[in-house]
């Protein structure tokens, strides 16, 4: 280890080319999660991706650790393992908002258009009138959408939905012009046909979507969760789905992964994808370009981006 370098533990699978030029950084690639000795333990910076998640419980033993940089937008699961005094940053603002917002528009359209039923009919090679029941297609135009959580992802969703002619309301913990505070949610729900959950999981948002929230939505409303499963009371949602009153499109669930025997898998009018909203063929390159920017800031002692905790 060279004392002049910033030692950075980074997943071996990372697209290192995307980092760009780094002047004083010694990259130590981590191949296995249990590789917490030697140079890895000397790291000032640890980059957390799927294959370095296993480092988390050991971070308290890293004597020089200053910064934990996640490549994800949500960092709720990392918080308990961040040692006191260590800064945690997420990857947001340009890394995930495009891909995640594309997923949101995809599943809203798929749900309203009845794509699951269409794909099933295609699987049976059935052109109407062989299909027993007509597949109703609803339009986005004129629908009321409520975006809960109005950060980079919420704004990106709004930009992409706007030209469909939707009425969009916004809710965020930090209200500002055009953005409602959470206590207005009960007033908004009865006229909301599509709810998009894009808020981080915090004590303020945990179980936000409970039986009362769902009951306030009108018949046929669609609940889209691209945030964390913890925002939604799964049993309450399941009850509304089973009685055919609401629809859902979920990229995140509670429990997650969803066990094979969980009834949510086959609940009516429920689209489930396995936490892949941000995971496109391009996201990793974008994420590691962001990590490169952040490392250059760290090298130079400049303010970091997307600081989530700083004790």
Length of the chain: 311
Cβ proximity to a second copy: between 76 and 102 the closer is: 102
Cβ proximity to a second copy: between 116 and 151 the closer is: 116
Question: Among residues 118, 75, 73, which one has the least CA distance to residue 98?
Answer: 73
Q: What would the DSSP string read from start to end of 231-269?
A: GB-HHHHHHHHHTTS-EEEESS-SSSSPPTT-GGGG-TT
- CA–CA distance, 24 with 30 (Å, rounded to integer): 19
Contacts of 77 (CB under 8 A, 6+ apart): none
- Minimum separation from the CB atom of position 103 to a second copy (A): 7
Query: Of 5, 118, 155, 256, which residue is the catalytic one?
Result: 256
Task: Return the structure tokens found at 29.
Answer: 């690639």
For residue 44, the tally of other CB atoms under 10 A from its CB is 19
Total residues interacting with a second copy, rule: CB under 8 A: 51
Cβ proximity to a second copy: between 165 and 190 the closer is: 165
Binding mask of the shown chain, residues 141 to 170, with x at each position contacting a second copy by CB under 8 A:
x-----------------xx-xxxx-----
Binding mask of the shown chain, residues 163 to 202, with x at each position contacting a second copy by CB under 8 A:
xxx-------------------------------------
Question: Among residues 191, 193, 197, which one has the least CA distance to residue 210?
Answer: 197
Is residue 256 flagged as an active site residue? yes
Cβ proximity to a second copy: between 116 and 175 the closer is: 116
Query: Of 143, 247, 254, 275, which residue is the catalytic one?
Result: 275
Is residue 275 flagged as an active site residue? yes
Query: Of 228, 247, 286, 289, which residue is the catalytic one?
Result: 228
- Minimum separation from the CB atom of position 168 to a second copy (A): 13
Q: 178: alpha, beta or left, given left = phi > 0 and alpha = psi -120 to 50? A: left
Cα distances (Å, whole numbers) of residue 275 to 40, 126, 235, 257, 284: 29, 31, 19, 9, 15
- Minimum separation from the CB atom of position 164 to a second copy (A): 6
- Minimum separation from the CB atom of position 200 to a second copy (A): 22
Q: Report the first-to-last Cα separation within the chain, whole angstroms.
A: 27
Cα distances (Å, whole numbers) of residue 210 to 170, 213, 228, 231, 236: 19, 5, 14, 8, 6
Binding mask of the shown chain, residues 95 to 134, with x at each position contacting a second copy by CB under 8 A:
---xx--xx-xx--xx--x-xx-xx-xx--xxxx-xx---
Kindly tell me which residue out of 23, 136, 204, 215 binds a second copy, with binding defined by CB under 8 A. Answer: 136
Is residue 118 flagged as an active site residue? no
**Subset of residues 252 to 281 that bind a second copy, contact rule: CB under 8 A:** 256-258, 260-262, 265-266, 271-274, 276, 279-281
Q: To which H or E segment does residue 26 belong? A: strand 25-30
Site residues for a second copy per CB under 8 A: 98-99, 102-103, 105-106, 109-110, 113, 115-116, 118-119, 121-122, 125-128, 130-131, 135-141, 159-160, 162-165, 256-258, 260-262, 265-266, 271-274, 276, 279-282
Annotated catalytic residues are 228, 256, 275
């Amino acid at each position: 280890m060279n004392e002049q370098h910033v030692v950075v533990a980074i997943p071996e699978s990372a697209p290192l080319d995307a980092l760009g030029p780094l002047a004083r950084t010694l990259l130590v690639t981590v191949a296995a999660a249990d590789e917490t000795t030697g140079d890895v333990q000397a790291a000032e910076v640890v980059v957390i991706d799927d294959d370095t998640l296993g480092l988390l419980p050991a971070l308290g033993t890293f004597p020089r650790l200053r910064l934990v940089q996640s490549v994800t937008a949500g960092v709720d699961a990392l918080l308990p393992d961040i040692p006191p005094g260590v800064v945690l940053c997420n990857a947001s603002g340009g890394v995930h908002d495009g891909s995640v917002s594309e997923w949101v528009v995809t599943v809203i359209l798929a749900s309203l258009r009845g794509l699951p039923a269409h794909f099933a009919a295609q699987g049976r090679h059935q052109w109407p009138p062989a299909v027993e029941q007509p597949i109703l297609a609803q339009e986005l135009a004129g629908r009321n959408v409520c975006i809960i959580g109005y950060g980079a992802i919420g704004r990106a969703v709004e930009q992409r939905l706007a030209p469909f002619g939707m009425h969009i309301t916004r809710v965020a913990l930090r209200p500002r012009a055009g953005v409602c505070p959470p206590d207005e949610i009960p007033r908004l729900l009865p006229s909301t046909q599509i709810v998009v959950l894009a808020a981080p999981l915090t004590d303020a948002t945990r179980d936000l979507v409970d039986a009362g929230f769902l009951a306030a939505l009108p018949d046929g409303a669609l609940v889209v969760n691209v945030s964390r499963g913890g925002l939604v009371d799964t049993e309450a949602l399941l009850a509304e789905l089973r009685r055919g009153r609401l629809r859902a499109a979920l990229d995140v669930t509670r429990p997650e992964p969803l066990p094979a025997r969980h009834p949510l898998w086959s609940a009516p009018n429920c689209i489930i994808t396995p936490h892949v909203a941000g995971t496109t063929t391009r996201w990793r390159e974008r994420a590691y370009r962001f990590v490169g920017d952040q490392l250059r800031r760290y090298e130079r002692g400049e303010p970091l981006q997307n600081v989530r905790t700083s004790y």
